[in-house]
Amino acid sequence: MRNTISYSSEVLLVEGGTELKGSVRVSGSKNAALPIMFASMLTEETCRIRNVPDLLDVRNTCTLLKMLGVEIKREGESVALDGKGVRRWETPKEIVRRMRASILSMGPLLARFRRARVALPGGCSIGPRPIDQHLKFFSSAGASVLVKEGYVSLEIKKKKPVEFSFDIVTVTGTENALLYLSGVEGRSVLKNIALEPEVMDLVSVLTQMGARINVEGRTAVIEGRGELGGFEHRIIPDRIEAGTFMVAGAITGGEIVLEDVELSHMGAVVEKLEEAGISVEALKPSRVRVRRKGELKPLELKTSEYPGFPTDMQAQFMAMLDRKS
């Protein structure tokens, strides 16, 4: 693909007007990588993760984990994490407020130390997102919860299994609960959980670490362990990045081949692309060709939790469909 891009700290200028053609490899999913990186605090064994994207949130997570005592070695897209040196159960404001995903430190810290003091998170360009479902879960698990001076303080006297139903479907709420319960001996039940591929990627890792997790519908049954082991895992492809490249090709009338893409995670997006008149052709299980077949057709979109149409693809589709007018 050829384009001209210049940038400074304040401006990103793109000179387009040409068809996008060529092939591009889809990165590993940031939203899968972050909770899996936090899972390294649940064990004193080494955890090895491949296909980790080099993004600001990933770097900030590495910084936070190092502050807590995790030893991290990175080579390219591979990251090795050793959590046996974790002794700190409080996360500092200066790093936590850079990213919303830092809230995922709550579950592992509470499971490991029976206490956690985590600064309220930031870093979401969409706007503020409440963490009440996280706190309701931890409260139901027997933890005392105190929100004061920009921090959430949690403490639990005895870890025990829990049965809990989320009021709404929440991705990070589900992940925090799974991280915590995997380190709690006994059988726990979570209802109305999120089913995003990134959540299932975390389930795969926690199972490899020794927890037993069975998901049926929106219910998960977790049999945790007091001591969890290390893991080796490859992060799933980023379905939002893949969808964004697909839309970019459609907008410009070009032809793009995506490498390392998982179409089974993109059902709703592919369905709407094809409805709009865009060909999505699987060349191989992880290789896809995308091209526009003619004029774009109008669409009706409604975002919803997975497996519905993702909110993070709404803006791209709006830009694509605006080209029709």
- Give catalytic residue positions: 124
- Give Dmax (Cα) for the chain: 64
Both tokens assigned to 98: 């850079």
Phi, psi of 138 (to 5 degrees): -65, -35
**Hey, is 97 helix, strand or coil?**
coil
Which DSSP helix (H) or strand (E) runs through 110? helix 106-113
Q: Where are the beta strands (DSSP E) in the chain?
A: 4-7, 12-15, 21-25, 46-50, 71-75, 78-82, 90-91, 115-119, 144-148, 151-155, 163-165, 186-191, 212-216, 219-224, 231-234, 255-259, 278-284, 287-292
Place of tokens 């404001």: 93
Both tokens assigned to 69: 């005592």
28: DSSP letter: B
